[in-house]
Structure 1
Amino acid sequence: MQELSIKNFAIIDEISVSFNKGLTVLTGETGAGKSIIIDAVHLLVGGRGSSEFVRHGEKKAEIEGLFYLEKDHPCFRKSAEFGIEIEEGMLILRRDIAQTGKSVCRINGKLVTISILREIGSTIIDIHGQHEHQELMDESMHLHLLDQYGKEEIGKTLNNYQEIYVQYDHTAKQMKQLTENEQQMAHRLDLLRFQLQEIQAANLKVNEDDELIEEKSRLTNFEKIFDAIKSGYEGLQGEQRGMDYIGHAMGHLETAAELDNNYVEVLDAVTTTYYALEDVVGTLRTELDKLEFDPMRLNEVESRLNEINQLKRKYGSSVEEIIEYSAKIEEEIELITNRDVRLNQLEAKLTSLKEDLMLEGRQLSDLRKKWSKKLTKAIHYELKQLYMDKTIFEPVFISSSDVEGLRQDGLDEIAFYITTNPGEPLKPLSKVASGGELSRMMLALKTIFSKHQGITSIIFDEVDTGVSGRVAQSIAEKIHQVSAHSQVLCISHLPQVAAMADTHLFISKDIIAGRTKTSLHILNKEEKIKEIGRMISGVEITDVTKEHAKELLDIAYTKKNT
């Protein structure tokens, strides 16, 4: 996220802030509006809106964000699905919420629905709070995350599997179509034969409609065309007409050229023009002789166009589409007519494709199990750094061994399971509810998956609540580690996290003319020391507190550079 602009939102009058790469930490006293900014970003990417968000006394709230995307960012593909152009990697999201509660959403200036805003927004921003459900908590996304983690090996096999699956799915649908109720099939065959006969009887030719429209225009405007050509001809040919005058001019210029060579070039130009115009006069004469109005032909053209338009209403918006449809139904007629033979062919093909799919599917499963072990090892390493070395993480596979389990993404279903207490059984990650442990678990997963998810910006909303000491320091280091792969915005009450910030934003509120006004300020080094001191000790900041704050910043600087 490059820039964020918020206007008339809750207690925020108007703020605009630019973000840098790396870790941006947002701090401030309770009630200053830190979470309100996160609420605004949440709405910007498709969150549920309400008129309560509109600042009291204002007509609407306005939120706008500017994002710059890398060339291979998944947002390009998602935006293309909805016909949204992204030029020079720049994406602008905007959302207005009126007092009535009505929302207006725009992406790069194009009006979109909230659902489209949400789909595109999910590819660029991931918001994680103490109780926020997001991608890592969604079991349906766990298989995708594992595939992304091991995409160097898994990707090629998955592509091979999916290519075969497309053929398999198409063949299965053809078989289903051919094994439908015979009476329905007979009715379908009658309809197709009628349609084919109607199209073939018309004997259509490519571009015929365009040629007929052009001819109709000529016939309808015959009188105007004839008069114009006749007037043009008469303006050139005859005594005291254009050609006559040019001929006289040419004779005089010949005399001048004989007397002075400087006029030879002018004479040549006039002579060339004269003979060229003679050709034009001849052409106009021939055209006048040929032009003859045929009212019967106009009726024929209009009748033919009407016939073609009737077919367009039924079978396609152009002659080309009608001809293509004709070829398609001809193929379907042949398919239904030779149903039994075709069924045997399809059945043999489907059996072969099933065998290929099962082979690729098992290979894909083996690769996924191999990479799940690597993922488990990597997550245990991250958890150990977060002082959760007793926690056990395990991707649980539900694999199908028969063709009934064939799906577009393979034979497997995967869910991430964990247990944080020795002796307790593994439970789905989505069922874990402990705030502090869940936050550290999510940070461990984010540290690994932020490299693979393609998310532009990750927002942590007070994920460090309820921790202190060495755990707080480890969380601070992990959040900064995540920012190496994705831009991170973090709201925090921990001085350790604030010290790790690449950019430190301070939010404050003031009462001006009886109204609350929120403002954002980028802190310099001295201001950072003062703010971290406040976070350590509260209201009173002593010299000892300042020294402690400086020490934290020095530790953070060393950690970031190693």
Structure 2
Amino acid sequence: MLAELTIRNFAIIDSLGVSFNKGLTVLTGETGAGKSIIIDAIGLLIGGRGSSEFVRYGTAKAEIEGLFHFDENHALMQKCEEFGISASDGMAVLRREINENGKSVCRVNGKLVTLAILKEIGQTLIDIHGQHETQFLLQPEKHLFLLDSFAGKEFALLLTKYQETYAHYVDIQKQLKNLTENEQQMAQRMDLLQYQLEEIDAAGLKENEDDELQEEKNKLSNFEKLYKHLHDSYENLYGDGRGLDLVSNALAELSAVSMIDDDLRKKEESLATCYYALEDLAFQIRDSFESLEYDAGRLNEIEDRLNEISKLKRKYGHTVKEILNYAESIRKELFVIQNKDENIDALKKKHEKIKEKLSAEAAKLSNKRTKHAAVLKEAIQKELKELYMEKTQFDVMVEKGSFSGEREFGPYGMDDVEFYIAPNPGEPLKPLAKTASGGELSRVILALKSIFTKHEGVTSIIFDEVDTGVSGRVAQAIAEKIYRVSSDSQVLCITHLPQVAAMADTHLHIAKDTEGSRTVTKVTALGSPEKIQEIGRMISGVEVTHITKEHAKELLDLALHFKQTS
């Protein structure tokens, strides 16, 4: 759940800190007070698209920070482990800063993350449903994903298996297409590959050859410098009266007294070891400069060879290894082209075999979808009855193949899924996207949220004025439904309905005020008297009378009775 939210320099918000509790939290206030601005801030906190317009005028950046609590089995744990983020204490702190140039800085538990990662993590914590988001119900292609999500983990495993097979199927199709394309293009491609392969093979490249040649070139180019310094190094060690002579003298002096003290004997042995090591090193240095030979012809050969390799690198790869790998890849491609007919026959056999496998897996998906569609249909029907749509018929249609009539494989199987509805008795079922009114769509989406809350495991759900356009007993039903959703997930709800406000476990009032010459937004947690006053304002709209307060108190009493008995 979202426990704390801090907002600074965001839109008309100067500085705001809000604590949230479990259950249903309602946010109310006059239009334009800043209720939706708070929801916008939460949306940005979980990866929404930001811009410089969100930064409060006259400030350098907007800052949003949220503290979330979650249990050890929450999907967030897997996401944090995937991205290397520490989250072992059941708490996550998401932070986002938006600079005046529109760029964002995102952190999760103090670790810098990309906006994409913030979004992945945020989507496991909060589901924001705004008054305009019912639009996704008007897009039939989204209905399949809703059904698949409802189907659960077992179905997800089947879908993953199908998609692996589908990827193989698509790859074979691509290979077949490449082999059966225009003959002239194929001949031109073969000529090009043959030329490239001959050029690389003619060079006779060896892996790491360029590094070895460069090392040899450096030695030849610095012959005089190498010889002089190696020779001088040897002379300083082994010349008369030089390093080794002085060490030898020191060893002789120490040997003269080593028998007197065990400690001195150990020092003599250590110095003797060092002397013989230095002597051996001196001989190695002597061998190094004596073995040096300058060969101007060899230096020219190396430079020519490096130039040849450099030309090949410009064409085929940054390293000799990459060039050799490219040669191997085009060798295989040439073999396929040169043996085109045989390869086409082999690929066609593979294609038929994988098609049979894909068809069987697609059939399993279809069967599972059909079964889960029936369950989802019954669950939605039940929810709609509680929202005073008891006479409404709802169905989840699974079309095996496609609505266009052409049966073909896709990344999600061979099915199309679409929700159908008949709001009035005696009418046939018709596509939801073409039939449902705005109020009906709001109730369908609330029914779906009630069902999916148990499947998605989202910590918090936000409803931003989803109750717009309803009243009377439907408003009461929506209030009861939103409360029931809050029993499984924390719910934050912006509302103008007094029935919903009365159901709140926590009631926050949002108001706009002026400090100096600037407008600021303030949030106040309401106690019982303030709740009556605010709900009375929501009922009357203008003047809160004694009768209005009595009505507000009655709504609160009815809400309390519902909570205690439901």
Query: What range describes the TM-score normalised by the shorter chain of this pair?
Result: 0.7 to 0.9
Give the AA of the match of 1:62. A
1:127 match = 128
CA–CA separation in structure 2 for the residues paired with 1:541 and 1:212: 96
Q: CA deviation at 1:460?
A: 0.9
2:410 pairs with 397, 407, 410, which one?
Answer: 407
Deviations 1:344-395 (A, max 9, x none): 1111221222222222212221111011001111112222233322222211
Which structure 2 residues correspond to residues 41-60 of structure 1 after superposition, within 5 A? 41-42=42-43, 45-47=47-49, 51=53, 55=56, 57-58=57-58
Give the AA of the match of 2:58. E
Q: Does the C-alpha gap of structure 1 residues 489 and 295 become closer, same or farther in structure 2, counting only changes over 3 Å?
A: farther
Q: Does the C-alpha gap of structure 1 residues 555 and 292 become closer, same or farther in structure 2, counting only changes over 3 Å?
A: farther
2:419 matched to 1:416?
yes
2:440 matched to 1:437?
yes
Deviations 1:42-97 (A, max 9, x none): 5564448574x554x526662535576988849988999xxxx5622668564637
Q: Does the C-alpha gap of structure 1 residues 216 and 498 become closer, same or farther in structure 2, counting only changes over 3 Å?
A: farther
Q: Give unpaired runs (5+ residues) of structure 1.
A: none
Give the AA of the match of 2:465. E
1:62 match = 62
Contact 1:23 1:503 in 2 (8 A): yes
Contact 1:23 1:480 in 2 (8 A): yes
CA–CA separation in structure 1 for the residues paired with 2:203 and 2:23: 67
1:147 match = 148
Query: How large is the RMSD of aligned CA atoms in angstroms?
Result: 3.7
Deviations 1:304-360 (A, max 9, x none): 333223222222232222222211111111111111111111112212222222222
Could you tell which deviates more after superposition, 335-344 or 115-124?
115-124
CA–CA separation in structure 2 for the residues paired with 1:29 and 1:343: 70
Contact 1:153 1:367 in 2 (8 A): no
**Normalised by the size of structure 2, how large is the TM-score?**
0.84
2:536 match = 537
Contact 2:134 2:441 in 1 (8 A): no
Give the AA of the match of 1:461. D
Query: Alignment partner of 1:394: what SS?
Result: strand
CA–CA separation in structure 1 for the residues paired with 2:459 and 2:316: 45
Q: CA deviation at 1:4?
A: 4.7
Q: Give unpaired runs (5+ residues) of structure 2.
A: 538-542
Q: CA deviation at 1:425?
A: 3.3
Give the AA of the match of 2:198. Q
Contact 2:513 2:520 in 1 (8 A): yes
Contact 2:498 2:535 in 1 (8 A): yes
Q: Does the C-alpha gap of structure 1 residues 512 and 156 become closer, same or farther in structure 2, counting only changes over 3 Å?
A: closer
Q: CA deviation at 1:249?
A: 1.5
1:489 match = 492
Give the AA of the match of 1:422. P
Q: Does the C-alpha gap of structure 1 residues 403 and 510 become closer, same or farther in structure 2, counting only changes over 3 Å?
A: closer
Give the AA of the match of 1:257. S
CA–CA separation in structure 1 for the residues paired with 2:313 and 2:18: 55
2:510 matched to 1:528?
no
Q: CA deviation at 1:474?
A: 4.1
Could you tell which deviates more after superposition, 491-500 or 372-381?
491-500
Could you tell which deviates more after superposition, 386-395 or 58-67?
58-67
2:85 match = 87
Which structure 2 residues correspond to residues 4-403 of structure 1 after superposition, within 5 A? 4-17=5-18, 19=20, 23-42=24-43, 45-47=47-49, 51=53, 55=56, 57-58=57-58, 62-66=62-66, 73=75, 87-88=85-86, 92=94, 94=96, 96=98, 98=100, 103-108=102-107, 125-133=126-134, 135-400=136-401
Query: Alignment partner of 1:258: what SS?
Result: coil
Give the AA of the match of 1:407. G
Could you tell which deviates more after superposition, 188-197 or 258-267?
258-267
CA–CA separation in structure 1 for the residues paired with 2:130 and 2:311: 60
Could you tell which deviates more after superposition, 470-479 or 161-170?
470-479
CA–CA separation in structure 1 for the residues paired with 2:297 and 2:352: 62
Q: Does the C-alpha gap of structure 1 residues 36 and 260 become closer, same or farther in structure 2, counting only changes over 3 Å?
A: closer
Contact 2:80 2:86 in 1 (8 A): no
1:478 pairs with 477, 481, 486, which one?
Answer: 481
Give identity over the alignment, percent.
48
Query: Alignment partner of 2:259: what SS?
Result: helix
Contact 1:75 1:120 in 2 (8 A): no
Q: Does the C-alpha gap of structure 1 residues 552 and 335 become closer, same or farther in structure 2, counting only changes over 3 Å?
A: same
2:556 matched to 1:558?
no
Contact 1:5 1:64 in 2 (8 A): yes
CA–CA separation in structure 2 for the residues paired with 1:14 and 1:302: 68
Deviations 1:135-179 (A, max 9, x none): 555422221221221134423332332222122111111111111
Q: Does the C-alpha gap of structure 1 residues 367 and 357 become closer, same or farther in structure 2, counting only changes over 3 Å?
A: same
Query: Alignment partner of 1:459: what SS?
Result: strand
Contact 1:394 1:417 in 2 (8 A): yes
2:431 match = 428
Q: Does the C-alpha gap of structure 1 residues 120 and 324 become closer, same or farther in structure 2, counting only changes over 3 Å?
A: farther
Q: CA deviation at 1:241?
A: 1.8
CA–CA separation in structure 2 for the residues paired with 1:239 and 1:400: 96
Aligned length: 546
**Normalised by the size of structure 1, how large is the TM-score?**
0.84
Query: Alignment partner of 2:133: what SS?
Result: coil
